[in-house]
Structure 1
Amino acid sequence: MRFLLSSLFLLLVGCASYPKKNGYVASKVQTTVVCNPYFSNPSIDYVYKSNIEVFDRSFGGILVIKKLGQDHHRIAFTTEMGNTLFDFSLKGDNLTINRIIKELDRKILVSVLKRDFLALTTESIQSIENFSKASKMLKKASILGKNHYYVFENDRLLQIIRAKNGKKKVVFLFSGISNNIAKKIDIQHHNFKLKISLKAI
């Protein structure tokens, strides 16, 4: 009987949502839009020294993100010598590959990068639910059918977490924030061999 109760408890905890597992409670705040300001200014070229670790390989270079219009960004990753590793246009939910090297041209990787860059550059999105814990606010939204949780503290976006069944799948960490620019961004995948590190130049 004790074993049965323990198993039932573990099952219930395992199925708990990400907010509940992490001590957040439903908030009465009725904010319906989540705002991400980090790549929203079309007059700025967002330039980062970058390192991408994928498939047990490491690619270093410069990543440039440019807002071209509403829900429209150009994302280019080049070596420091200027050779293009990939060049994407992201408009709405549609990704166009302008150029990509053979080593990175894998369907599953392009799909994951599309999801990552869409989360990174989406400026405003409808909030499904809101949660709070101490000084932090957690806002749930859906991107390409996946739950994303935006973590704010003092109205500043610190993290975006993609989660499933209460578990983190991808974590976006923003730090060194000034004038709506995150000087450092780390994207850590927990279910795929991919890590992206960005440092503003």
Structure 2
Amino acid sequence: MRSLLISSLLVVLAGCGSAYKTLQPAGGNRNCVEAFRPVFGSDLYKAQVEVAGKNLSGLLLIKTMEDGSTRVVFSTETGVKFFDFEFGVEGGFRAHYVMKKLDKKMVVNALRNDFDLVLMNGLGQGADRLMRREYKYYHGFQKGKKTAWYVTDADCAALQHAELGSRRQLLVDARLFAGEGKLFSGGGQAPDSVSIRHHNFNFNIALKKLDR
């Protein structure tokens, strides 16, 4: 009985360990992920959103405005809005509209963090931290008490994925793809598809670009 109790305790303690505990400091170019920043003109995506047990589908428009801000608008195919967000050039955020069923602080904050991660807002003057785990390099940008991590190969030739994490826990991972499922390499383009998955509650977003 005692050995079983000790084993159970070790399992619990292991589960409480930091998701980033095994990262090691690394050297390299702290500005290289800037090349992966997606460039949106007026790009329309087929969107599937799963949140709190509800499934929403429709069209998501990401548009760069004349003042450099970015509008993200999610609506049904008949034009009924779910939300309309504005992301400012200097990191500002404004919710122009949120459907009543989604108008909860936790949901709005989660959506803001998700699209900040995908738009690569707040990269500043380069990564605050550069870490590695085996062949993956983690470029970390501080976001208050959280960190946005952009994960690349050693040569920073392709964006493997992006993560938002607290000090101990992986909260969100986002994956951007070029056409035919290839890893996104930037080059002044918008991604062909995007997948966003939350790890702390049931909230997932899938986007597929439409030809216009």
**Common fold by TM > 0.5:** yes
Verify: 1:68 aligned to 2:65, yes or no: yes
For structure 1, the 5+ residue unaligned runs are: none
For structure 2, the 5+ residue unaligned runs are: 179-183
> Which position in structure 2 is the counterpart of 1:194?
203
Aligned residue for 1:155, secondary structure, equals coil
> Which position in structure 2 is the counterpart of 1:159?
161
What does 1:131-150 correspond to in 2, within 5 Å? 131-150=131-150
CA separation of 1:111/1:191 partners in 2, compared to 1, >3 Å: closer, same or farther? same
Conserved 8 A contact 1:49-1:63 = yes
Q: Distance in 2 between matches of 1:137 and 1:162?
A: 15
- Which structure dedicates a bigger proportion of its chain to strand? 1
Aligned residue for 2:65, secondary structure, equals strand
What does 1:98-109 correspond to in 2, within 5 Å? 98-109=96-107
Conserved 8 A contact 2:177-2:193 = yes
Output one character per residue of 1:16-48: Cα deviation in whole Å (capped at 9) or x when no partner. 46161xxx432121425642645334xx21221
Q: Distance in 2 between matches of 1:56 and 1:11?
A: 30
Q: TM-score, normalised by structure 1?
A: 0.80
Conserved 8 A contact 1:119-1:143 = no
Output one character per residue of 1:110-145: Cα deviation in whole Å (capped at 9) or x when no partner. 111111111221353331111234543211111243
Displacement of 1:200: 1.1
> Which position in structure 1 is the counterpart of 2:92?
94
What does 1:36-47 correspond to in 2, within 5 Å? 37-41=36-40, 44-47=41-44
CA separation of 1:148/1:71 partners in 2, compared to 1, >3 Å: closer, same or farther? farther
Displacement of 1:55: 1.8
The number of aligned residues is 196
> Which position in structure 1 is the counterpart of 2:110?
112
Q: TM-score, normalised by structure 2?
A: 0.77
Output one character per residue of 1:158-200: Cα deviation in whole Å (capped at 9) or x when no partner. 2111122443111111223375332121110111221111111
CA separation of 1:69/1:152 partners in 2, compared to 1, >3 Å: closer, same or farther? farther
CA separation of 1:200/1:110 partners in 2, compared to 1, >3 Å: closer, same or farther? same
> Which position in structure 1 is the counterpart of 2:181?
none
CA separation of 1:128/1:185 partners in 2, compared to 1, >3 Å: closer, same or farther? same
Output one character per residue of 1:87-124: Cα deviation in whole Å (capped at 9) or x when no partner. 11111333212222211111221111111111221353
CA separation of 1:13/1:55 partners in 2, compared to 1, >3 Å: closer, same or farther? closer
Q: Distance in 1 between matches of 2:100 and 2:80?
A: 13
